[in-house]
Structure 1
């Protein structure tokens, strides 16, 4: 049996960064898919600690909250920086990504076409901090923090790939982020995962059907 189980909707959503991380680290996991119809019936939702998915199982440890899951995997698999200084920066990046992801979801769920247009108009200002962080770390030739990959890299990669699906030109003004996406996407295990049906056949969002 795989050591990890992801329980989530039939989408990339909050779990694709976890999947990228696990695939790149050579870890096996299984998926338990909860359709929106089943979720709407109530019992599964009532069984979740905070009434939310994802649910993640690592042996006898059950976790909810996607950021807690990513931090757990970061600690378990050595993806949380090399010291306290780097770990603090990884947390900072992850919190910045959380702000952007929440803003992204709110804009698109409110009114998709109008929200999307406004969101992508504002996007350069939201991406600039990440371009700046790359520039400050070995001239943008490494990772978002330090010289080894962290869980924040998988989350940033997932976010940027999703944005490129919705607006292919969104990174044209950010050469370091653009090169970063190409570099991480070329890592052999990530490349294989991105080309797999497990990734290709999942929409970005189950609710928006993107």
Structure 2
């Protein structure tokens, strides 16, 4: 059949289509945690990059359930809301704890990440120049709960919950990295968080992803603030 046989007589199959698709702007934003998760778990995905002009002028926005991105495709399943996507990947890839107790604690930790990420987004997009100093001053109080969570689990030498990585760990990793860019010394008073960040960042597949051009060439935020 045309296109299936090479000169050698062997079959030539098209490359496999990645099972996941991320539809998002050309920034790290709310998708870098899920990208890091997928990379660390050895999963492939494709990106559909949405420019500002196409978002404002094209038909995509009207088709999105909440009128916002990211949009995530897993086969015929379409998801919106970044934390719903992370939880879906957690269930699908075994990153949601070993029992219901651990799952509940993982949800609690991830909600804490979301609280701080929302504060960060408000700073970046609405009050950066006037609010940065006060935000950085208050940051230790917002980071302390994560130090406490680590201290309560194997002396801070493992993950947020249990002895296996969860989707919340990838979310916290991303949150800590972007805050280090905002305030490089923000983890100075938190030895467990500092060690945790180093430990996760040097996992081989995460390290490779963080060093990849795809990650490095994506700005953290859409307005250039960081």
TM-score tier by shorter-chain length is over 0.9
Alignment partner of 1:154 is 2:154? no
> How many matched pairs?
210
Q: Which moved more, 1:145-154 or 1:44-53?
A: 44-53
Question: Does the 8 Å CA contact 2:124/2:225 hold for their aligned counterparts?
Answer: no
Distance 1:183 1:189 in 2: 12
Q: Deviation per CA, 1:108-159: give whole Å up to 9, x if none.
A: 2222122221111100000000000000100000001100000000000000
- 1:74 alignment counterpart: 90
- 2:184 alignment counterpart: 168
Instruction: Report how far residue 42 of structure 1 moved.
Output: 4.6
Question: Which of 160, 164, 169 is the matching residue for 1:144?
Answer: 160
Alignment partner of 1:25 is 2:44? no
- 1:132 alignment counterpart: 148
Distance 2:128 2:64 in 1: 29
Alignment partner of 1:190 is 2:209? no
Instruction: Report how far residue 209 of structure 1 moved.
Output: 4.8
Distance 1:28 1:187 in 2: 17
Distance 2:122 2:131 in 1: 8
Q: Deviation per CA, 1:46-84: give whole Å up to 9, x if none.
A: 111110100000011111111110000000000000000
Give the secondary structure class of the aligned counterpart of 1:13. Answer: coil
Question: Does the 8 Å CA contact 2:150/2:160 hold for their aligned counterparts?
Answer: yes
Q: Name structure 1 gaps, 5 residues minimum.
A: none
Question: Which of 38, 57, 68 is the matching residue for 1:52?
Answer: 68
